[in-house]
């Protein structure tokens, strides 16, 4: 059997720029990372399907990245 990937993971956006319809959120998170003004905690609130988990996963990946791009996106290559 080919490697099975759940659709929720297969189609989940992997970068801030590929998140659809939440530009204000992704820009705010990017600016927080860029200026090193990260809060102690982030609350992602809203109805299902608006991108809470997606944005949280991208945020976690990005702040742990060792080689951020100029566009404040994770490199997807580091450990």
Q: Which residues bind Zn ion (CB under 5 A)?
A: 65, 74-75, 78
Q: Given the complex with Zn ion, which of 12 and 50 has the nearer CB atom? A: 12
Question: Shortest CA distance to 53 belongs to which of 40, 44, 65?
Answer: 44
Q: Given the complex with Zn ion, which of 50 and 68 has the nearer CB atom? A: 68
Q: Given the complex with Zn ion, which of 60 and 78 has the nearer CB atom? A: 78
Q: What is the dihedral of CA 15, 26, 31, 41, to 10 degrees?
A: -100
The nearest distance, CB 2 to Zn ion, in angstroms, is 27
């Amino acid at each position: 059997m080919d490697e099975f990937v759940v659709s929720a993971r297969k189609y989940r956006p992997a970068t801030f720029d590929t998140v659809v319809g939440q530009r204000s959120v992704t820009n705010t998170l990017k600016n927080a990372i860029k200026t090193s003004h990260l809060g102690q905690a982030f609350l992602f609130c809203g109805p299902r399907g608006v991108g809470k988990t997606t944005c949280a996963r991208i945020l976690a990946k990005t702040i742990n990245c060792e080689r951020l791009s100029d566009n404040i996106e994770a490199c997807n290559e580091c450990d």
